[in-house]
């Protein structure tokens, strides 16, 4: 359901609360963990036990997912005995949504009681050591739209969510990153698991060769069209954040070749490698629970 006109063109606190209250009234699950699934990675939601599922179309104020590979379902249940809520499909700026709409679910998760957010995405690999099917733990990010003045926190600040000027230098939780690396070693993922810097661009076109070379020189390891806006809003709300990128294609860095990125290949690569990522996340959540982090 699309929201009624919001104050100043944005959602009001009351609209976030209306959505959270509507969901809480329709499920007994009380999530401490929220997960956002990227392109082709919605299989994580299928691992949820005792699921209660809502289509985005029936949830008050919720935007609608329009991209192939994003199912548009919100799933409540448990993962590794941890109460969770999983977005099977996210929203993007290139769909025509302003970032305050793209990030709407994150503040709803906060009002539902979630303390931790796990974000996943499909990304192009810029680091020459990365291969298709590798997984990158996000250590840090470059918010390219943000550098151009496009940020989900622009406009009036509501102190009920967070401060006017939040710090982002510690956006991706160091403790969870270390735990994920240990889990990856335990699962034998070895050289296919990395830590690196993710850059978000506006899309929907894939990057030019010159842009890829530029980003590589900035120290970017993987590039995509999502994730960072949700991370910024989550940190503004005080949520602990952890993120993965699944490398679904290698960025084109040389002229004269025939290779080019396309969404069908991204989805195919996601589906082939998704089970590895799903297993990694489920085992990580088990360890988080054992360590008192979930």
Active site (annotated) includes residue 144: no
Catalytic residue among 20, 34, 87, 122: 122
Q: Respond yes or no on whether the N-terminal peptide bond of residue 136 is cis (omega within 30° of 0).
A: no
Active site (annotated) includes residue 263: yes
Q: What Cα–Cα distance (Å) separates residue 231 from each residue in 163, 181, 196?
A: 15, 20, 16
Active site (annotated) includes residue 225: yes
Active site (annotated) includes residue 1: no
Catalytic residue among 70, 110, 194, 236: 70
Catalytic residue among 225, 273, 274, 288: 225
Q: Helix, strand or coil for residue 146?
A: helix
Active site (annotated) includes residue 226: yes
Strand partners, 245: 121, 136
Q: Helix, strand or coil for residue 59?
A: coil
Catalytic residue among 1, 71, 263, 287: 263
Active site (annotated) includes residue 39: yes
Active site (annotated) includes residue 70: yes
Catalytic residue among 249, 269, 278, 288: 249
Catalytic residue among 11, 20, 92, 278: 92
Strand partners, 142: 199
Catalytic residue among 93, 95, 245, 278: 95
Active site (annotated) includes residue 94: yes
Contacts of 292 by beta carbon, 8 Å cutoff, 6+ apart: none
How is residue 268 written in tokens?
């195919």
Catalytic residue among 11, 29, 39, 269: 39
Catalytic residue numbers, as ranges: 39, 70, 92, 94-95, 122, 225-226, 249, 263
């Amino acid at each position: 359901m699309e929201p009624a006109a919001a104050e100043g063109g944005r959602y009001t606190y009351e609209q976030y609360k209306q959505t959270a209250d509507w969901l809480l009234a329709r499920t007994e699950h009380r999530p401490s963990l929220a997960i956002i699934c990227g392109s082709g990675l919605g299989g994580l939601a299928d691992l949820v036990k005792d699921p209660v599922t809502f289509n985005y179309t029936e949830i008050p104020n919720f935007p609608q997912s329009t991209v192939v590979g994003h199912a548009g379902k919100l799933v409540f249940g448990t993962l590794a005995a941890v109460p969770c809520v999983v977005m099977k499909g996210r929203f993007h700026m290139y769909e025509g949504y302003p970032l305050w709409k793209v990030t709407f679910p994150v503040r709803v998760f906060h009002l539902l009681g979630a303390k931790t957010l796990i974000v996943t995405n499909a990304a192009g690999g810029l680091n020459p050591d990365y291969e298709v099917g590798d997984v990158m733990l996000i250590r840090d990010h470059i918010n390219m739209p943000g550098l151009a003045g496009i940020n989900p926190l622009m406009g009036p600040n509501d102190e009920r969510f967070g401060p006017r000027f939040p710090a982002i230098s510690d956006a991706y939780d160091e403790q969870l990153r270390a735990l994920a690396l240990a889990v990856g070693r335990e699962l034998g993922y070895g050289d296919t698991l990395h830590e690196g810097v993710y850059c978000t661009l506006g899309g929907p076109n894939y990057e030019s060769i010159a842009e890829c070379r530029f980003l590589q020189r900035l120290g970017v390891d993987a590039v995509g069209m999502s994730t960072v806006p949700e991370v910024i809003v989550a940190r503004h709300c005080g949520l602990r954040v952890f993120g993965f990128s699944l490398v679904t294609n290698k960025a084109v860095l040389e002229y004269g070749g025939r290779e080019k990125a396309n969404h069908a290949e991204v989805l195919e690569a996601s589906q082939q490698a998704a089970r590895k990522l799903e297993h990694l996340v489920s085992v990580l959540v088990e360890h988080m629970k054992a360590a008192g982090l979930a």
